[in-house]
């Protein structure tokens, strides 16, 4: 059986690449819902519907464990999928999100004045603020929704990114933040630019998720032992275009062959 990685678009390929580097032998199936990217401006009902269909597809392709490499879907749909969908359909399989590991990382390092950029839904959900303050009420978190970044990243718009980031980050730079959480897997490809241009410490999920996944597998041998280990990686998307083919290879830093996953009956 395989490890599934699901994202609303192609940003999760950056997480897939990092997992592959950290756990070289594990077999991975990636699914990007490029038909509906970005999720950040969708309703909660729509996000859940899209996420459930994609998760169901991955389980039907023999995935034992799925990493939901999408902050918006993790904020909106993960808990319901874990509490309702899994017990009914796949009680012995698991779905992991990216929000809890990111919060754990920030807390482990003692940050108390944190900046965050994310999609409209992730910021509006307040999930990061609520989870951080449950553990340490003294934490201050300053959040900015950055809806233009995903479309720019997925559509070869990097030449405009610096101007957009300058505008988005200006309010955060006045808050003397200790670190900046990139609460969208797409933003991983901006981490070096942000570090160099603004001198910020950045929490990037490609640097966190593989380590936390490896720890999880060590704690759960009943899952780890059933995962196949031939080092194979397959990629599929719900909408296949030439632009996505080029972007996927750019994100993975190696040629990627995308296949079309016919999941959604309607857009």
Residue 267 lies in a domain: no
Domain carrying residue 190: 99-207
Q: Which residues are catalytic?
A: 70, 184
Residue 266 lies in a domain: no
pLDDT digits (tens, 9 = 90+) for 222-254: 999 999 999 999 999 999 999 899 999 989 999
pLDDT digits (tens, 9 = 90+) for 104-113: 999 999 999 9
Check residue 18 and give its pLDDT: 97
- Which residues is 65 bridged to in the sheet? 3, 94
CA distances from residue 6 to 28, 71, 96, 162, 188 in whole angstroms, order as listed: 11, 11, 10, 28, 16
Average pLDDT, the chain: 94
Same domain, yes or no, for 143 and 63? no
Residue 12 lies in a domain: yes
Residue 133 lies in a domain: yes
Check residue 265 and give its pLDDT: 52
Same domain, yes or no, for 252 and 169? no
Check residue 135 and give its pLDDT: 87
Whole-number percent of the chain with pLDDT over 90:
90
In this prediction, the residues of the chain whose per-residue pLDDT falls under 50 are 266-267
Same domain, yes or no, for 26 and 103? no
Residue 141 lies in a domain: yes
- Least Cα distance to 76 among 15, 114, 122 occurs for 122
pLDDT digits (tens, 9 = 90+) for 140-171: 999 999 999 988 988 888 899 999 999 999 99
Residue 114 lies in a domain: yes
List the structure tokens of 139. Answer: 């934490």
Check residue 52 and give its pLDDT: 97
CATH of the domain at 77: 3.40.50.1860
Report the domain count for the chain. Answer: 2
Q: Mark residue 215 as left, alpha or beta (left: phi above 0; alpha: psi -120 to 50; beta: remaining).
A: alpha
């Amino acid at each position: 059986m395989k490890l599934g990685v699901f994202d609303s678009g192609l940003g999760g390929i950056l997480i897939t690449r990092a997992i592959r580097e950290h756990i070289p032998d594990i077999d991975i199936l990636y699914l990007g819902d490029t038909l509906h990217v970005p999720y950040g401006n969708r309703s909660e009902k729509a996000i859940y519907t899209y996420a459930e269909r994609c998760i169901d597809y991955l389980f039907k392709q023999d995935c034992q464990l799925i990493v939901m490499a999408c902050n918006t879907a993790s904020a909106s749909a993960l808990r319901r999928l874990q509490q309702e969908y899994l017990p009914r359909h796949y009680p012995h399989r698991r779905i992991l999100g990216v929000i809890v590991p990111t919060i754990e990382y920030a807390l482990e390092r003692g940050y108390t004045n944190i900046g965050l950029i994310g999609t409209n839904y992730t910021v509006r959900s307040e999930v990061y603020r609520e989870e951080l303050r449950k553990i340490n009420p003294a934490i201050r978190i300053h959040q900015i929704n950055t809806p233009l970044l995903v479309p720019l990243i997925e559509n070869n718009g990097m030449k405009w990114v610096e101007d957009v980031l300058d505008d988005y980050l200006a309010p955060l730079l006045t808050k003397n933040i200790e670190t900046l959480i990139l609460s969208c897997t797409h933003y991983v490809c901006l981490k070096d630019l942000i570090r160099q241009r603004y001198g910020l410490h950045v929490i990037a999920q490609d640097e966190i998720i593989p380590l936390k996944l490896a720890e999880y597998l060590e704690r759960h041998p009943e899952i780890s032992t059933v995962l196949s280990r031939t080092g194979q990686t397959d990629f599929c998307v719900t909408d296949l275009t030439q632009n996505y083919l080029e972007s996927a290879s750019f994100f993975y830093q190696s040629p990627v062959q995308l296949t079309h996953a016919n999941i959604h009956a309607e857009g």
